[in-house]
Amino acid sequence: MSEMTYIGKSVPKVDAREKVTGQVIYAAEINLPNMLYGKIVRCWEYSHARVTHLDLSEAAKVPGVVKVLGPGDVTQKRYNTGVLDLMVPEDMGKHLLGDIEDQRIFTDHVRHQGDAICGIIAESEEICELAARKVIAHYEALPVYLSAAESSQPGAFQFDERKPGNRTFQLPEQMFPNNAYGWGDVDVEMATADFVIEDTFYVPKVKQCQLEPHSYVAFFDLAGRLNCWTSTQMPKCVHNKLARLFELPISRVNLVSTTIGGGFGGRLGMVFEPETCAMAMAVPGHPVKVQSAREEDWVASESRHPGKYWLKMGFKNDGTPVAADAHFTSDAGAYFSHSSGVPFTTGSWLTGMYKYNAVRYKGDCYYTNQAPSGAFRGYGNPQTNFVLEQIVDQACLKLNIDPVEWRKRWHKQAGDDGWCIGVPYSSCSLDECLDRGAEAIGWKEKRAKYANQTGRMRRGIGVSVMNHTSGAMPMLLEHTTCTIKMNEDASAVITLACSDLGQGSHTVLKQIAAETLGMPMEEIHLHVNMDAAGFDIGSHASRTTYVGGGAVMKACEDVKRQLIERASTRLGIPVEELEIRDRHVVSKNKSQRPEGAEGNAADNLRNNVWGVGASMSIKEICSVGVYHFVNPMNGEANGVPGQIQGYASFFPSHNSPPFGACFAEVQIDIETGQVQVLELVMAHDIGRAINPKAVAGQLCGGSHQALGMALTEEIHYDAKGLCLTNSFTDYKMLGPVDMPKITTILVENPDPIAPYGLKSVGEAGPVNPVGATANAISNALGIMFTEAPITPEKILIAIRKQGIV
Amino acid sequence: MKNRMITLCVNGRNYRLDVMVNRTLLQALRDDLKLVDVKYGCGSGECGGCTVLVDGKDCINSCLTLAVEMEGRNITTIGGMTHEGELHPIQQAFIDEGAIQCGYCTPGMVMKTASILAKNPRPSEDEIRRGLEGNICRCTGYENIVRAVQTASQVMYDSQIQPAGGSR
């Protein structure tokens, strides 16, 4: 590809200036005339209880309270906050998902601490608080289950009659015989193994911790339209879901996508939009603002799926991985939410990684009384990484093979079956990632140096690889619509529904548009508006640059086609002989516009200024398309009429998977059990980086979440199911001092299918630092840890057990 | 609850404000003065999203500070960093170094940076990282924020720009 103007350039984020001056508007900053405030009243004392008595009369008497709403005062329709039901065909959904709508706006069956029991609408937030304290609720305690192991016991309380045994999901028999995903005969292959490594791991419940708390404004206007301002990651899906929940046509719901103060999956689907909109529906003509407190995020919004992960792998003495047999039993938490998504994809990342002769993955999910599990950046991949990559390292130890070399020999390559069996990988640069990463961190030297350590401080170095996806095709719907309107001055407005979580998707989409249209980014505006924009599934599955970018590119090509057709008509030159260059449609015979050649096409033609061939400026085509006149004297038109709009309704044909290699170096104080990560090297197969600085930023930021999962982060509950870690003090994330030196390496070998050869990066960061850190700890101590996070307590206990000190 | 009349100087402008004595500075800024560039992140001083600069030097969590305690003090928020549309070198450094993703921690991070550099114009990387503790960012892994503080320090030092927020 020839030299490009915008692709591959680290242009500043398009919203950076607004953000750094404090001008940007998040949902909490929306203030409207006649606005009231809403409070979602939650049950804080129980994680599982029946509300036997709810008296709102005292709350209603508080001066300034406008309305109180109990479970019977709002729609009785059930819903699912996740969006998987909008992403699969109905017949497949019946098997894959089953009945998934199990949530109600206000409930009389509290299934987790923080479940919403009623709502208060008042003139101020302070009045809401006062009234909330006057709500009288009596409860009958129900048995509390904090893991799948507990809730799946015979005789356990049944959460939902449609989910016998409290099992929300298993791989459905109709699609996956024996409820398993994979290939080959695992039992036969396992029997041929020279040795087998097997263990059961635990992966923790970790939180997205986006900095912006969940805030909304909803307004049921007097024209009968429901308006909702929300920072959801998936505006179109939430638009659709709210319309269904409140039984309105989509055109009578105005969903306004506000700036997103972090998402990471935490805003994938609906969060507190149903409660907010229900309150607004109860007071037509008054906007209602709901600003949730940080504590509410911990107890009432979703997190990563925790669970028990069993993996058994058989190897030949030459290193061949003959079989992998896995079972992930995860905790859904109180509601179905993403029960079918994560336990499925967790297996995809496993099957997509190595060339096993046979593999069998089972994934299931059970209700518990914890906050619901849902989407979190990586979607099952960090869980698999912690387990698979540690087992592989144990095998390498036994085989006496360098872990980098083993991975290079056995990871899947281009042409091999991808994470979705039947869809081969279109490209793979993992070997280069491993080589360049190993060199950058000094893998061989350090591995040798740390082999036989003594003393208090022990160092270790570890590696981990990962695969992911660019969009969820073919398992889930992949579709983005884009319109590009050319203004009469040849500036452009892109209209679409893609959200920007902060990762910079709007920046790269504009880069793609500017490159494809051959015009300056400054003359392009990107307009996100749910009324005006067509469909987009939303920001998930690392898809926005890949699929959104594909849609933008196609819509730009549509604009270019129209420009060329107009010029062809006007100039009398066949379409195939024209091309766009330097903001002109020019004849291909003429390679360059001469210096100083101005004036309109007609003059140029008449005067033959440009010699052979001819040209028309984009500006002239766009202008005369709008300002179209016919000369009354001679009946001649000044150009071809019609404002130019490009359009694409884009369905990608692939998922061009990214790969990555991560190297971690740690130092462990064996007296305190403290782990310090000294260095991370992340080499990522990006295909082509549209904005290298933004790509590196995704890897660095993601690694923060990965290191937290590996070392410090976990949501804890007491025996009653009450959350013990509902603050940033109790839930420990790594701070600026704790973060290691990070080196990012972008391996750029353009993918043959992807727009501009790009691959995704959004979900790569939080995945393989998990496995690399665990492997580095294991390298330092000679102990494999099966439970994440690997805290100082766990390290000290293991060290004493092993007799290291 | 008692009310008290206070004078706050915010971003160089004086405001007379009748506030309840239990009102936090964050509430006074956001709800009463409509200076919504200061962010609520946790309400308990753990995330640093509501960080503002006081008298050009110290920074505080406005969610943990009572408005009445700030009587007569000079408060600077991120909205006060820009002069006649021109960005402060700290703001420019945050853009140039890619230190902004979702932007929600940015107002607090920029004010924390202003405080770090007001107290120590040439901090080491370690001093910067220690200085930033108390301000949470979940997007960047802090890497580019540290770079931004270093760049701002360099630019301000080279051009002898005075620290933000007026008198010291």
- Residue located via tokens 């991975």: A407
> What is the arithmetic mean of pLDDT over A556-571?
96
What is the phi/psi pair of residue A189, to 5°? -65, -40
Residue of A nearest to B142 (CA): A736
> What is the arithmetic mean of pLDDT over A185-203?
98
A12, A23, A502: residue with CB nearest B101: A502
Q: Look at residue A343 in the predicted model and tell me its pLDDT.
A: 94
**Token code pair at residue A696:** 């590196």
CA of A81, closest CA in chain B: separation in Å?
Answer: 23
CA of B36, closest CA in chain A: separation in Å?
Answer: 6
Which residues does chain B have within 8 Å of residue A11's beta carbon, measured at their own beta carbons?
Answer: none
Contacts of A690 (CB under 8 A, 6+ apart): A7, A8, A508, A511, A512, A545, A549, A756, A758
A31, A697, A728: residue with CB nearest B46: A728
Q: Look at residue B167 in the predicted model and tell me its pLDDT.
A: 41
Residue with the bigger pLDDT between A291 and B163: it is: A291
Residue of B nearest to A22 (CA): B37
Contact B102 A13 (CB under 8 A): no
B47, B101, B126: residue with CB nearest A728: B47
**Residue A561 pLDDT > 60, yes or no?**
yes
> What is the arithmetic mean of pLDDT over A167-186?
94
> What is the arithmetic mean of pLDDT over A754-781?
98
Q: Look at residue A600 in the predicted model and tell me its pLDDT.
A: 56
Which residues does chain A have within 8 Å of residue B43's beta carbon, measured at their own beta carbons?
Answer: 293-294
Contact A294 B42 (CB under 8 A): yes
Contact by Cβ (8 Å): A759, A753: no
Burial (CB count <10 Å: 0-12, 13-18, 19+), residue A460: buried
**Residue A606 pLDDT > 50, yes or no?**
no
- How do residues A441-464 score in pLDDT, each as one tens digit? 999 999 999 998 999 999 999 999
- How do residues A232-252 score in pLDDT, each as one tens digit? 999 999 999 999 999 999 999
CA of A29, closest CA in chain B: separation in Å?
Answer: 6
> DSSP labels for chain B?
--EEEEEEEETTEEEEEEEETT-BHHHIIIIIS--TTS--S-SSSSS-TTEEEETTTEEEEGGGSBGGGGTT-EEE-GGGS-BTTBPPHHHHHHHHTT--SS-SSHHHHHHHHHHHHHH-SS--HHHHHHHHTT---SSSTTHHHHHHHHHHHHHHHHHTPPPSSS--
Q: If phi over 0 gives left and psi between -120 and 50 gives alpha, with beta otherwise, what is residue A187?
A: alpha
Contact A736 B139 (CB under 8 A): no
DSSP A324: E
> What is the arithmetic mean of pLDDT over A519-528?
98
* Confidence bin at A613 (pLDDT 50/70/90): low
Which residues does chain B have within 8 Å of residue A19's beta carbon, measured at their own beta carbons?
Answer: 100, 103, 106
Which residues does chain B have within 8 Å of residue A735's beta carbon, measured at their own beta carbons?
Answer: 129, 132-133, 136, 142
Contact B102 A700 (CB under 8 A): no
Q: What ipTM does this complex have?
A: 0.96
**Residue A634 pLDDT > 80, yes or no?**
yes
Contact A209 B132 (CB under 8 A): no
Which residues does chain B have within 8 Å of residue A703's beta carbon, measured at their own beta carbons?
Answer: 141
Contact B78 A24 (CB under 8 A): no
Q: Look at residue B168 in the predicted model and tell me its pLDDT.
A: 35
Closest-CA residue to B157 (of B109, B118, B100, B107)? B118
CA of A107, closest CA in chain B: separation in Å?
Answer: 26
- How do residues A413-432 score in pLDDT, each as one tens digit? 999 999 988 899 999 999 99
Contact B95 A209 (CB under 8 A): no
A291, A694, A727: residue with CB nearest B46: A727
Contact A16 B140 (CB under 8 A): no
What is the phi/psi pair of residue A483, to 5°? -120, 140
**Token code pair at residue A352:** 């997509």
Q: Look at residue A709 in the predicted model and tell me its pLDDT.
A: 98
Contact A26 B79 (CB under 8 A): no
Contact B140 A28 (CB under 8 A): no
Percent of chain A with pLDDT over 70: 97
**Token code pair at residue A543:** 């898809």
Percent of chain A with pLDDT over 90: 92
> What is the arithmetic mean of pLDDT over A5-21?
98
B40, B130, B141: residue with CB nearest A701: B141
> DSSP labels for A524-541?
EEEEE-TTTS--B--S-T
> What is the arithmetic mean of pLDDT over B31-53?
97
**Residue A397 pLDDT > 80, yes or no?**
yes
A121-130, A256-265, A586-595, range with the lowest pLDDT: A586-595
Which residues does chain B have within 8 Å of residue A739's beta carbon, measured at their own beta carbons?
Answer: 129, 141-143
Which residues does chain A have within 8 Å of residue B77's beta carbon, measured at their own beta carbons?
Answer: 22
CA of A261, closest CA in chain B: separation in Å?
Answer: 5
A21, A705, A737: residue with CB nearest B133: A737
Contact by Cβ (8 Å): B104, B49: yes
CA of A99, closest CA in chain B: separation in Å?
Answer: 35
* Confidence bin at A612 (pLDDT 50/70/90): very low
Count the Cβ atoms, other than its own, within 10 Å of residue A456.
10
Which residues does chain A have within 8 Å of residue B81's beta carbon, measured at their own beta carbons?
Answer: 21
- Cβ–Cβ pairs < 8 A, chains A and B: 164
Rounded Cα–Cα distance for residues A462 and A680 (Å): 10
- How do residues A270-302 score in pLDDT, each as one tens digit? 999 999 999 999 999 999 999 999 999 999 999
**Residue A605 pLDDT > 70, yes or no?**
no
- How do residues B85-131 score in pLDDT, each as one tens digit? 899 999 999 999 999 999 999 999 999 999 999 999 999 999 999 99
